[in-house]
Amino acid sequence: MDDALWSTVSRERLSLADTLDALTPEQWATPSLCSEWSVQDVAAHLAMTPTAPTLGQIVVGILHSRGDLWAFGRDIAREYAQRPTDQIITELRRTADSRHLPPLTNPDNALLDIIVHGQDIARPLGIERMIPTSAGLAAFARAWSMGWPFHAQRRLRGIRLSATDAKLSASDANFAVGSGELIEGRLGDLLLLVTGRTEAALPHLSGPGISLLTPPSISTE
């Protein structure tokens, strides 16, 4: 299972590098869907993941940011993003096959990271970035099961999410989670919703459950 997962991560990293190759300086500076990060900041975050700080460096960094893990991650990505954009792309390609993980994370998080952050970059630029169904389902399952930082099951209590473009492998039924008022849409848009990108997802979703949505209270990352 891990081999298939890591192969997907590698393909997504290389595909994203190809997308970044075509961006203009103005596009690199565009705000991403990820709070307080530009497209360049998000790309830098993904490029630096295989060479992320050690646990000791993370502890020191969190102390400096007064316990705010999001602020620590934001700041080190911005620092890395000071590199020329071609260096960021080169590093993303060079480490595409790397299975190194930052402390306190796992391969499922690596897949979720590249899938969601790929959308964080592409959506504001009007670029259609396809999500492979199997990878999208795995990323969704990880995001749905997590507490911090998304708390998806708590935020979306009383709502049933149904993907109109993803079928369950054992039947013809649409992939669905939760219970209550229905919200349906493409798997990629539901993934944005469960990871707190509500504003970006909302125009592409439908169903009576939309009236129950409230703006996310988290910093998306």
Distance CA 20, CA 3 (A): 26
**Which tens digit of pLDDT belongs to each residue from 131-184?**
999 999 999 999 999 998 899 999 999 999 999 997 765 555 779 999 999 999
For 191, residues 6+ apart whose C-beta sits below 8 A from its C-beta are: 115, 116, 119, 131, 136, 139, 140, 143
Which residue in the block uniquely carries the two structure tokens 């991560």? 9
Q: Does residue 72 or residue 112 have the better pLDDT?
A: 112
Q: Is 52's pLDDT higher than 80? A: no
11 closest CA partner among 104, 110, 101: 110
Within the chain, strands assigned E span 159-167, 174-178, 181-185
Distance CA 108, CA 105 (A): 8
Given this model, what pLDDT does residue 51 score? 75
**Which tens digit of pLDDT belongs to each residue from 58-70?**
655 565 655 565 6
Q: Which residues pair with 159 in a beta bridge?
A: 181
For 83, residues 6+ apart whose C-beta sits below 8 A from its C-beta are: 44, 91
Distance CA 151, CA 38 (A): 24
For 11, residues 6+ apart whose C-beta sits below 8 A from its C-beta are: none
**What number is the average pLDDT over the span 14-34?**
98
Across 12-21, 112-121, 143-152, 167-176, least confident range: 167-176
Q: What is the pTM of this model?
A: 0.89
Distance CA 42, CA 36 (A): 10
